[in-house]
Structure 1
Amino acid sequence: MKAITIIQPWATLITLGEKQFETRSWATKHRGELAIHAGKKIDREACEVPEIKAALARHEYTADNLPNGAVLAIANMTECWSIGTDYQSGMPVLYNGEGGKSRGVGLKEDKFGWFGTGRYAWEMVNVRRLPEPILAKGMQGLWNWEGLHT
Structure 2
Amino acid sequence: MSEVKKKKTSKALSIRQPWAYLIVNRYKDIENRSWSTSFRGKVLIHAGKKFETEAYYYVLKKHKISLPPIEEFELGGIVGEAEIVDCVEKSKSKWFGGPYGFVLKNAKRKRFIPLKGQLGFFNVEV
Asked if Structure 1 and Structure 2 have the same fold, meaning a TM-score greater than 0.5 normalized by the shorter chain, the answer is yes
TM-superposed CA distance for 1:62, in Å, is: 2.3
Equivalent pair of 2:81/2:109 in contact (CA under 8 Å): yes
Counterpart selection for 2:25 from 16, 21, 37: 16
SS at match of 2:22: helix
**Counterpart in 1 of 2:118?**
139
CA-based RMSD: 1.4
- For 2:117 and 2:74, how far apart are their aligned partners in 1? 13
> Number of residues paired by the alignment?
115
TM-score by length of 2: 0.84
1:2 paired with 2:17, answer no
- For 2:100 and 2:124, how far apart are their aligned partners in 1? 23
**Counterpart in 2 of 1:34?**
43
Q: Which runs of 5+ in 2 are unaligned?
A: 1-9
- Identity over aligned pairs, percent: 33
TM-score by length of 1: 0.72
Change (3 A) 1:56 1:11: farther
**Counterpart in 2 of 1:101?**
none
TM-superposed CA distance for 1:64, in Å, is: 1.9
SS at match of 2:27: coil
Equivalent pair of 1:13/1:55 in contact (CA under 8 Å): no
1:64 paired with 2:44, answer no
Partner amino acid for 2:65?
A
Q: Which runs of 5+ in 1 are unaligned?
A: 84-93, 95-103
Give the alignment of 1:116-135 within 5 angstroms. 116=98, 119-130=99-110, 132-135=111-114
Counterpart selection for 1:47 from 38, 53, 56: 56
